[in-house]
Structure 1
Amino acid sequence: MANSLFNIIFVMNTIISIPLCMVLNSEFLEAAPCEFLITQLPGFTDKFPSKHYSGYINIDGKNLFYYFVTSEKNQSNDPVVLWLNGGPACSSFDGFVYEHGPFNFEAGKQEGSLPILHLNPYSWSKVSNIIYLDSPAGTGLSYSINSSHYTTGDFQTASDTHAFLLEWFELFSEFVSNPFYISGESFAGIYIPTLASEIVRENGAKPTINFKGYMVGNGLTDDVFDGNALVPFVHGMALISDKMFEEAEAACKGKYYDPDESCVERLLPIYNVIEKLNFYDTLEPCYHKPNSSTSNKNYSRLPLSFQQLGMSSEKPLGVRKRMFGRSWPFRAPVRNGIVQSWPQILSQYNDEYSVPCTKDEVSKAWLNNEEVRKAIHAEPIHVSVIWELCTDRVNYTHDSGSMIPYHKNLTLQGYRVLIYSGDHDMCVPYTGNEAWTRSLGYKTVDEWRPWLTYDNQVSGYVQGYDNNLTFLTIKGAGHTVPEYKPREALDFYSRWLEGKPI
């Protein structure tokens, strides 16, 4: 009788093409994601436009948290997209809350109260199924009871995320045939090519992921290209004078990534004149916490000299030899391969940890509310600790080197790649991404031109290369493109996923 009932349920589920979700005894629940279905969210009183699921998948003792939004258009045929924020160790709820998630979050009427949620007309779930994943373990709502799991690097993170995807597609098996893409921003410029390579290398794994390509926004790629990008950018944006630029060029000879002492002398005045800008978007004001010492703090106090960087002047590591993500600015260094996070740097000055220029009170109020956690199947605070936009719990080593060989290998195998950049981001300037994409030497198949959105307005510029590689700028956008230009972001995202010209 039980088998007959299961067969009937299975056939019904196949016909209506939704994940099997029934409250039955445990022998059926093992085959169904019913327990992960979200039925209500504190702060939201409207009707969900599509189904939402969330929960944990355990990978070797690491509990990785995801939030899955099915497409509002056609979940059966639309792509499945994995979204990863940067950092390292910045939560993908950054993208969910502030960028392209299904809701817009309005701050609560009183301080500390829950935000009010409204439907986001520019959500990327309008045209795709999208998974927001907190990775690696220790990030956001992902956790482990074994603190040694918080020591990781590029290769381990890629392996864990690939294992997560295999488990996820096993659970949500109806989506296994959908086209699959990876997307993210900032330090996800490291996460994404390493994960894509892991998927391609392990293509015999089951279930078989229908991987088609990836898109990276204002992403890290290569120490030299990224490290040399800032000075030409700030000069081109009229943030430094011709004289300052010419003196830096003469002293550094275009080699800003690994400067000698005479070069550093010319870089310090440049840093001094741009230090008060919002380096995630030079057009936007820099937010400071009320009643906080950060309101009068300038971040030039962060490591700039050889001594502050923990290096000798005889063999400098370089003022800009660093990795950074959503919250790590252009001066956060790498020491002996270990990525220095803001909490680790600020602790040297006895400063309270605060991501510069970034206001995250809304996300903190929502994700640290126990009723919200219960609704999204997240562990309470005493188990998975307080949610932070970016955390210092993770000891991360950038161990995979330059991403250029990864990009070249993947594009030559036919995978589609979109590299997009907000053109007012000073954290990972577009100049670096434009330079490395060009350096691949691919034939130009779509010469540099403006791309248009609504009202026939120029929204940025695009250059198309052979081997399915596209470079795109978004006019007036900062580091987190959909946060600053949500309408334009949905436009190019939709067109690219559909294979249409941008």
Structure 2
Amino acid sequence: MVDILTLKTKCGLSYIGVGESDDVQLFYYFIESEGNPKNDPLMLWLTGGPGCSALSGLLYEIGPFTINYANSTLEKPMLEINPHSWTKAASIIFLDQPAGSGFSYAKTPEAYITNDTLSTLQTYQFLRKWLVDHPTFLNNPLYLGSDSYNGIVLPMIVQEIYNGNEVGEGPHINIKSTEENCYGEHLNVDPNNSLCIHDLQVVDKCLERIRKPHILEPFCDTFNALKSDLFRRVLRSLEKTPNDMWSLPQLQIQGCRADNYLYSYTWANSRNVRKALHIHEEVLSYTHNVLSTITYHQHFANHKNCRALVYSGDHDMVVPYLGTLNWIELLNLLVVSDWRPWFVDEQVAGYTMKYSNHNYTLTFATVKGGGHTAPEYKPKECLSMFMRWLADDPL
């Protein structure tokens, strides 16, 4: 058991400048594979948002350690080993992007103004620079992974990598590919269609007390009050005194997952931590200028040699798996392996299908009992899925 600041592992954290005159400084955590880092795949992991810190993916989803809640306080969160970390099979770069996410910052106010397209270009530039700085990983198979909103941005980054490789832009990137992901006409409702508007209002009323990231977990409306009143007082107190004042039982009286996030939120926003990491203050301004990336997938399916893994927690109402299936069907791929269960420890872990077209293959999997960020809810099953897919074995 170790605290976050004194953790010793094969990892690194630093900044890489991108954009005009390196005016955007992207912060990342890099953790080597626990297996054979010389030969194991390298993965760039993008947390959703846009604007979410990569720390959430590292501590709550697929990283090598998580918070030991029984022995943690807001002042000093303690870590424990995550036995289901994806770093058992791959080296992972957890990237804070775009500027204003996590510890990433910009040198000018204008550089905080960004969108899907600009974020794509900056992430691609980051990856090229990172590989130049870490040439021992140039020959490792590279995979790109994301969850939530970055399912929009990720295929655009993949396309940039293909474009750069084809024109000889160095270094040559040994791309493979993976992502997680909805769309529908209900987002563009005719204001004159009163029946449709009424139906959507009924749906909203039915769902307003449902926790959409995982529909079976409790909806806790006290978290906002906790964050705004008690939590702010805690942050102020921690700046003035090192006393160990707030413990886990006081924070988990609702039994809510969101309460657990206070540990990383407090640590990351601590004045001492931000000073030690030379963090700059930031305000993110992001424009959603890409509504769909289906055309990117269609291009990959018809012209590229690559593999894709798309997975969805089957209890996620933010991006329901049925919506993911709908856009996959729009690709008009050949079904190689029809809908069937996949197993972990002889128990059904979800359902899967495999598609192909020429040299392109796509594996889709649901994770039984998984929420919006599936590895956070079902770490053992997701690690098994990830390792089998990397090995090109059937789920």
Task: Give distance in 1, aligned partners of 2:307 and 2:153.
Answer: 17
Following superposition, the deviation at residue 71 of structure 1 comes to 0.3
Residue number in structure 2 paired with 1:70: 32
Following superposition, the deviation at residue 212 of structure 1 comes to 1.2
- Is 1:207 paired with 2:171? yes
Find the partner of 2:83 among 121, 124, 134: 121
CA separation of 1:287 and 1:98: change in aligned 2, threshold 3 A? farther
Specify the SS of the correspondent of 1:139. Answer: coil
Find the partner of 2:281 among 370, 377, 384: 384
Task: Give distance in 1, aligned partners of 2:316 and 2:269.
Answer: 30
Task: Give distance in 2, aligned partners of 1:41 and 1:209.
Answer: 36
Return the letter of the residue paired with 1:477.
G
Percent identity over the alignment is 39
Task: Give distance in 2, aligned partners of 1:477 and 1:192.
Answer: 21
CA separation of 1:294 and 1:146: change in aligned 2, threshold 3 A? closer
Residue number in structure 1 paired with 2:48: 86
Task: Give distance in 1, aligned partners of 2:48 and 2:217.
Answer: 21
Task: Give distance in 1, aligned partners of 2:214 and 2:323.
Answer: 16
Task: Give distance in 2, aligned partners of 1:123 and 1:191.
Answer: 24
Return the letter of the residue paired with 2:369.
G
Aligned residues: 355
Following superposition, the deviation at residue 267 of structure 1 comes to 1.5
Following superposition, the deviation at residue 273 of structure 1 comes to 1.3
How does 1:458-477 map onto structure 2 within 5 Å?
458-466=348-356, 467-477=360-370
Find the partner of 2:12 among 38, 42, 53: 53
Q: TM-score, normalised by structure 1?
A: 0.67
Find the partner of 2:186 among 240, 256, 266: 256
Find the partner of 2:179 among 216, 220, 226: 216
- Is 1:358 paired with 2:358? no
Specify the SS of the correspondent of 1:460. Answer: strand
Following superposition, the deviation at residue 436 of structure 1 comes to 1.0
Specify the SS of the correspondent of 1:283. Answer: coil
Residue number in structure 2 paired with 1:341: none
Specify the SS of the correspondent of 1:286. Answer: coil
Following superposition, the deviation at residue 366 of structure 1 comes to 2.2
Residue number in structure 2 paired with 1:183: 145
**Kept after mapping to 1: 8 A contact 2:73/2:263:** no
String of CA shifts for 1:20-74, please: whole Å, max 9, x gaps: xxxxxxxxxxxxxxxxxxxx974477763xx101100011211100000000000
Following superposition, the deviation at residue 145 of structure 1 comes to 2.3
**Kept after mapping to 2: 8 A contact 1:44/1:118:** no
Return the letter of the residue paired with 1:461.
Y
Following superposition, the deviation at residue 372 of structure 1 comes to 4.6
- Is 1:490 paired with 2:364? no
Task: Give distance in 1, aligned partners of 2:227 and 2:30.
Answer: 36
Q: TM-score, normalised by structure 2?
A: 0.84
Task: Give distance in 2, aligned partners of 1:101 and 1:407.
Answer: 28
- Is 1:422 paired with 2:298? no
Task: Give distance in 1, aligned partners of 2:339 and 2:223.
Answer: 44
Specify the SS of the correspondent of 2:152. Answer: helix
CA separation of 1:110 and 1:501: change in aligned 2, threshold 3 A? closer
Find the partner of 1:436 among 313, 327, 331: 327
Residue number in structure 2 paired with 1:447: 338
Residue number in structure 1 paired with 2:252: none
Specify the SS of the correspondent of 1:461. Answer: strand
**Kept after mapping to 2: 8 A contact 1:150/1:395:** yes
**Kept after mapping to 1: 8 A contact 2:4/2:77:** yes
CA separation of 1:67 and 1:290: change in aligned 2, threshold 3 A? closer
CA separation of 1:56 and 1:371: change in aligned 2, threshold 3 A? same
Specify the SS of the correspondent of 2:338. Answer: strand
Following superposition, the deviation at residue 138 of structure 1 comes to 1.0
Following superposition, the deviation at residue 364 of structure 1 comes to 1.2
Specify the SS of the correspondent of 1:477. Answer: coil
**Kept after mapping to 2: 8 A contact 1:288/1:357:** no
Structure having the higher Rg:
1
String of CA shifts for 1:407-436, please: whole Å, max 9, x gaps: 111233121111111011001111110111
CA separation of 1:293 and 1:212: change in aligned 2, threshold 3 A? closer
Relative to its length, the structure with more helix (as a share) is 2
**Kept after mapping to 2: 8 A contact 1:288/1:294:** no
How does 1:29-40 map onto structure 2 within 5 Å?
none
Residue number in structure 2 paired with 1:368: 269
**Which ranges of structure 1 fall in alignment gaps of 5 or more residues?**
1-39, 220-225, 229-254, 296-355, 386-392
Task: Give distance in 2, aligned partners of 1:46 and 1:93.
Answer: 14
Task: Give distance in 2, aligned partners of 1:55 and 1:227.
Answer: 36
- Is 1:405 paired with 2:328? no
How does 1:94-243 map onto structure 2 within 5 Å?
94-107=56-69, 112-203=74-165, 204-213=168-177, 215-217=178-180, 219=181, 226-228=182-184
Residue number in structure 2 paired with 1:285: 218
Task: Give distance in 2, aligned partners of 1:444 and 1:156.
Answer: 35
CA separation of 1:134 and 1:209: change in aligned 2, threshold 3 A? same
Return the letter of the residue paired with 1:216.
E
Residue number in structure 1 paired with 2:236: none
Relative to its length, the structure with more strand (as a share) is 2
Specify the SS of the correspondent of 1:462. Answer: strand
Following superposition, the deviation at residue 104 of structure 1 comes to 1.4
Task: Give distance in 2, aligned partners of 1:138 and 1:475.
Answer: 34
Following superposition, the deviation at residue 158 of structure 1 comes to 0.8
**Kept after mapping to 2: 8 A contact 1:89/1:138:** yes
- Is 1:457 paired with 2:347? yes
Find the partner of 1:276 among 195, 209, 219: 209
Task: Give distance in 1, aligned partners of 2:222 and 2:107.
Answer: 32
String of CA shifts for 1:364-394, please: whole Å, max 9, x gaps: 122234555577xx224xx336xxxxxxx32
Return the letter of the residue paired with 2:179.
V
CA RMSD of aligned residues (A): 2.3
Return the letter of the residue paired with 1:196.
V
